């Protein structure tokens, strides 16, 4: 039995709580957070507190709060014997160094309130100061995911950077596509099948080989046409930079 | 019965041929192309020719060749009574103006040789000089797709531009994510679930609302960290431009 407490009431915290509650050999000791409204809704199945001085003992404390609140929350755990981890891709593990035992439990996924994620396929990257703690985190991670990786801090930071490219920036491109549709009185749904196929395609083809389009072909006439269409648009820079980067790669 | 001929042997041509062959009320009259090897593989089920002077009569001629070959191929059809269309998002309809009747049949999707696409969900944008020809194209398009749109030239060009953002540029971001993984000895599969969820998410959430990440939060410390990690990388520009564009949107 692994006794786990979760600090935080955001999307990651709530997804982890739900997963752990479904497991027989994991006990959710307590949910700790400031949002009393959310806490009350959890009370039926889990012990809760909004008082950070009232944290019970546990084997693992998972701090799933905003990056810039991690250090502050960890202060309340510095006398605990249990392992303290955060769930962030970008925050240094040493942010927790005032705790006796510390590490990272980073799920490489984007979580939304109203979307259920198939956690079994979500990669979880674990890291800890002590080798035995790495093992403990791997044991916990393996209970919820089929894709557990031990990574070092440098790798985790690289992974987070990669995630910004493939998630944050990609989503912004989707927004731009939608804007272009709206400005031209086209239904935004019209680009959806293309968006879905773009992602599906790279499950059996490398993005390098899957690349198409004017920049890949070196079709400067179309690129100039497109830049002209984007005259006065805030997205002209994005077009120019992305096209230049693709051209350079295939030149 | 609509009698259709296809000019070209690339991915779009081959996908359309396959679809039309499955329909009872469409007859594939002929496949016309230069690649005799591919043509021979089609011979069993369709009339073929590599001689562009030997094109049989048909109700609709679909020119599915590279953008810059469309004008040249259309020369061989200028005396035909049938409707001549191309399948390109970016080429002007007037490129076909030497033909008696002309239009556009543009499927908004990316086609690969070895991937089967569910054509029923692929948007097809039709356009023609003559209203009756628009109807004819709609009739044909409705037989293979549940998403048929009549668009004008300006809209089609905008759509093609949008497709470059959500398909070509997105794929390039996937490549960058993969590169970052490889450089840090991380398995490239580690970003796959995130990539798939990024697309899936916007089927029930607008990209504007789905946006997360340092640029959205105005977290300049993380952005600076990332830019530093990308020092000397060819992808630093992409990071800076994309972040600036997101910041501007949510400022």
- What ipTM was estimated for this complex? 0.93
> For residue A138, is pLDDT > 90?
yes
pLDDT for res A112: 81
* Chain-chain contact of B230 with A161 (C-beta, under 8 angstroms): yes
Q: Are residues B162 and B85 in the same domain?
A: no
Q: Are residues A113 and A38 in the same domain?
A: yes
> For residue A238, is pLDDT > 90?
yes
Beta carbons within 8 Å of A242's beta carbon, 6+ residues apart: A215, B168, B169, B172, B238, B241
Q: Are residues A94 and A7 in the same domain?
A: yes
CA A110 to chain B, closest CA, distance in angstroms equals: 7
CATH of the domain at B163: 1.10.1040.20
Counting the structural domains of chain A, the total is 2
Q: Are residues B179 and B233 in the same domain?
A: yes
Boundary-marking domain end, from A151, A178, A207: A151
Q: Are residues A36 and A49 in the same domain?
A: yes
Q: Which of A161, A184, A248 sits opposite B226 (nearest CB)?
A: A161
CATH of the domain at A145: 3.40.50.720
Give mean pLDDT, residues A182-191. Answer: 96
Secondary structure of residue B5 in the 3-state scheme:
strand
Query: Would you say B7 and B61 are in contact if contact means Cβ atoms under 8 Å apart?
Result: yes
* Chain-chain contact of B165 with A246 (C-beta, under 8 angstroms): no
For B162, nearest residue in chain A (alpha carbons): A177
- The predicted model scores a pTM of 0.93
* Chain-chain contact of A184 with B214 (C-beta, under 8 angstroms): no
* Chain-chain contact of A162 with B183 (C-beta, under 8 angstroms): no
Q: Along the 251 residues of chain B, how does pLDDT read in single tens digits?
A: 999 999 999 999 999 999 999 999 999 999 999 999 999 999 999 999 999 999 999 999 999 999 989 999 999 999 999 999 999 999 999 999 999 999 999 999 998 877 888 899 999 999 999 999 999 999 999 999 999 999 999 999 999 999 999 999 999 999 999 999 999 999 999 999 999 999 999 998 999 999 999 999 999 999 999 999 999 999 999 999 999 999 999 98
pLDDT digits (tens, 9 = 90+) for A80-97: 999 999 999 999 999 999
pLDDT for res B138: 98
- What's the DSSP call for residue A90? S
- B101 lies in which domain range? 2-151
Nearest to B121 by CA among B105, B139, B109: B109
Chain B residues with CB under 8 Å of A250 CB are none
Query: Would you say B88 and B61 are in contact if contact means Cβ atoms under 8 Å apart?
Result: no
Strand partners, B4: B28, B60
pLDDT for res A111: 86
Query: Would you say A173 and B173 are in contact if contact means Cβ atoms under 8 Å apart?
Result: yes
Long-range CB pairs of A220-227 (<8 Å, 24+ gap) are A222/B67, A222/B90, A225/B90, A225/B157, A226/B161, A226/B164
Q: What percent of chain A has pLDDT over 70?
A: 100
pLDDT for res B30: 97
Q: Are residues B20 and B72 in the same domain?
A: yes
pLDDT digits (tens, 9 = 90+) for A141-163: 999 999 999 999 999 999 999 99
pLDDT for res B112: 81
Q: Are residues A49 and A140 in the same domain?
A: yes
Q: Are residues B117 and B176 in the same domain?
A: no
Give mean pLDDT, residues A183-206. Answer: 95
Boundary-marking domain end, from A101, A133, A151: A151
Confidence band of A117 (pLDDT split at 50, 70, 90): confident
CA B229 to chain centre: 35
Q: What is the 3-state secondary structure (H, E, C) of B188-225?
A: HHHHHHHHHHHHHHCCCCCHHHHCCCHHHHCCHHHHHH
Integer Cα distance of A52 and B58 in angstroms: 78
Higher pLDDT, B111 or A185: A185
Boundary-marking domain end, from B100, B126, B151: B151
pLDDT for res B116: 83
Q: Are residues A36 and A147 in the same domain?
A: yes
CA A72 to chain B, closest CA, distance in angstroms equals: 18
* Chain-chain contact of B166 with A177 (C-beta, under 8 angstroms): yes
Query: Would you say B5 and B28 are in contact if contact means Cβ atoms under 8 Å apart?
Result: yes
Secondary structure of residue B24 in the 3-state scheme:
coil
Q: Are residues B184 and B240 in the same domain?
A: yes
Q: Are residues A109 and A135 in the same domain?
A: yes
Q: Are residues A147 and A167 in the same domain?
A: no
Integer Cα distance of A164 and B211 in angstroms: 11
Give mean pLDDT, residues A59-77. Answer: 96
Integer Cα distance of A217 and A237 in angstroms: 20
Chain A residues with CB under 8 Å of B218 CB are none
């Amino acid at each position: 039995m692994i006794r786990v407490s979760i600090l935080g009431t955001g999307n990651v915290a709530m997804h982890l709580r739900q997963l752990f509650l479904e497991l027989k050999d994991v006990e959710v000791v307590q949910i700790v957070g400031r949002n009393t409204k959310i806490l009350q809704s959890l009370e039926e199945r889990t012990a809760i507190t909004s008082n950070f001085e009232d944290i019970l003992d546990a084997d693992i404390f998972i701090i799933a709060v905003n990056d810039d609140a991690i250090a502050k929350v960890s202060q309340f755990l510095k006398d605990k014997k249990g392992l303290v981890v955060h769930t962030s891709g970008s925050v240094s593990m040493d942010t927790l160094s005032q705790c006796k035992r510390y590490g990272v439990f980073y799920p490489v996924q984007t979580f939304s309130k109203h979307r259920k994620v198939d956690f079994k396929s979500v990669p979880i990257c674990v890291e800890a100061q002590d080798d035995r703690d790495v093992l403990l985190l791997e044991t916990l991670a393996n209970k919820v995911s089929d894709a557990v990786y031990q990574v070092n801090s440098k790798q985790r930071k690289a992974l987070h950077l990669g995630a910004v490219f493939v998630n944050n920036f990609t989503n912004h491109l989707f927004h731009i596509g939608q804007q272009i549709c709206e400005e031209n009185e086209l239904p935004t749904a019209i680009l959806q099948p293309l968006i879905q196929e773009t992602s599906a395609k790279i499950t059996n083809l490398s993005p390098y080989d899957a690349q198409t389009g004017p920049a890949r072909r070196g079709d400067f006439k179309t690129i100039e046409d497109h830049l002209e269409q984007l005259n006065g648009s805030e997205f002209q820079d994005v077009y120019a930079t992305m096209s230049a980067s693709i051209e350079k790669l295939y030149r």
